[in-house]
Structure 1
């Protein structure tokens, strides 16, 4: 069977379809980055999501919204701080972030990276949106090829690495390898930041067992090592510092959205949020 008769999205995971469409529903994405499969998944998931928002205190789509806003806000702050910023979004998938930031902050150098098939699909969509869009980089994060992605940037300028919906899919040993690679390959840059979301253990949630069982199902259907790694912000902070980051902030939505004008939302205890954001600096 030829490639022409196969769906161009056949290699994209169902989670990428779903998140891509939720971002489109949020009004922050482009129609070419949303798929019909994502629309179907969002429709099917809607009753469960609505139930979770009522009884669990949050759902997948609310965590998608929280993490996306916190990551975007922080990236905007870094652009204000470093007008000549460079950005590398790893495992970019169908994320609209690169497209959006290139539209509104054309002075920055924003590149996206993913595995070959996803990179090919994303690049085709971006070129339809804007023919001047830069090529999507294609490397495996766990091979030495990853360092080639850093080579396209100017080490005299600040660099931000950003990921969303990625690191919970790795076992802790692989996650530590990824973090050390970012620190190693980015060590010669004038400034190096890493922004990511992370799902902590749901120890403060009244339906923790439901969330745990759901995560086990996600692990099976996504054929990944999806798991929760940390119970406290301090555990996450120490883990990232072990990889070589000097400053690590763990941001929780319940503080961030209520007091973000007063502080950056740091807290020493798990406040019950389903997702956190980590801002690490070398």
Structure 2
């Protein structure tokens, strides 16, 4: 079983960090030699997979990132959200970009396991990229209680401000019981605020066949662990989100947000779930 440890998650963090940087979404301070090597090493396998009809990995990553960015921007610009917690943020540049854009108007907390948190904190401080409301914290997304839980972090936030929680590139690496634990924690925490927004990505098991099987094999080899497709339909996933305590939930297609749209990016759905008044 794939467990979330610093060693296990680092290939995905390094690779996605390189994708953001190569596409103008990140700062040069986020560059890593290991990430560049991983990206270069996957060029040939990605091309071979494309011949089999497998969607391009970089296109999938960029489409989901753009979609989540857009939904978060809308929530902040509308005044509904002013606090953001990004779980398992890895080398995501979103905290830096949103803190740079909104300054003291928002609080942005990036979280991850200790090794990645130390690395992120160090690179942000060395490059002078920490904004006034930008923080980095140790947090285990799958711990419902305890000092390193989302519940404990929520105690540090303003209870009168709308709050968003983001899990990008996380859900499908864990079995359903872990996902249920996570969603229950997020749903319960967001009910502590006047408005809550949960954003994530989610692969459904809607397209069984050679393409899906090939993609799963490639990703499994890359992350050195299992990849899980928990739900057969959008309705199943939405019902699970309601059971976790969200007041509203929907799954959206990345192609509906514009940006870089290539064939196959809609195999990855975008979760938007909310709590509180609308």
TM-score by length of 1: 0.84
Structure 1: where are the runs of 5+ without partners? 1-8, 259-270
1:49 equivalenced with 2:46 (yes/no): yes
Structure 2: where are the runs of 5+ without partners? 1-5
1:278 equivalenced with 2:276 (yes/no): no
Structure 2 Cα separation of the partners of residues 172 and 194 of structure 1: 18
Aligned to 1:238: 239
Q: Cα–Cα, structure 1 residues 49 and 180, in superposed 2: closer, same or farther, change >3 Å?
A: same
Alpha carbons 1:87, 1:160 under 8 Å: kept: yes
**RMSD between superposed Cα atoms in Å:** 2.4
Structure 2 Cα separation of the partners of residues 204 and 54 of structure 1: 18
Q: Cα–Cα, structure 1 residues 131 and 49, in superposed 2: closer, same or farther, change >3 Å?
A: closer
- 1:43-63 CA-partner distances (Å, limit 9, x unpaired): 111122234345425221111
Aligned to 2:127: 129
Alpha carbons 1:204, 1:272 under 8 Å: kept: no
Q: Aligned residues, how many?
A: 260
Bigger mean CA offset, 197-206 vs 145-154: 197-206
Bigger mean CA offset, 77-86 vs 119-128: 77-86
Helix, strand or coil: the match of 2:266?
Answer: coil
Aligned to 1:116: 114
Structure 2 Cα separation of the partners of residues 181 and 207 of structure 1: 34
1:141 equivalenced with 2:133 (yes/no): no
Aligned to 2:79: 82
Bigger mean CA offset, 229-238 vs 124-133: 124-133
Alpha carbons 2:190, 2:197 under 8 Å: kept: no
Alpha carbons 2:81, 2:195 under 8 Å: kept: no
Q: CA deviation at 1:215?
A: 4.2
- 1:20-39 CA-partner distances (Å, limit 9, x unpaired): 10111111011221210110
- 1:100-129 CA-partner distances (Å, limit 9, x unpaired): 101111121111111111111100111122
Alpha carbons 1:89, 1:161 under 8 Å: kept: yes
Structure 1 Cα separation of the partners of residues 269 and 194 of structure 2: 27
Q: CA deviation at 1:279?
A: 0.4
Structure 2 Cα separation of the partners of residues 195 and 12 of structure 1: 20
TM-score by length of 2: 0.85
Alpha carbons 1:21, 1:35 under 8 Å: kept: yes
Structure 2 Cα separation of the partners of residues 185 and 76 of structure 1: 21
Q: CA deviation at 1:272?
A: 8.0
Aligned to 1:161: 165
Alpha carbons 1:202, 1:272 under 8 Å: kept: no
Structure 1 Cα separation of the partners of residues 240 and 67 of structure 2: 21
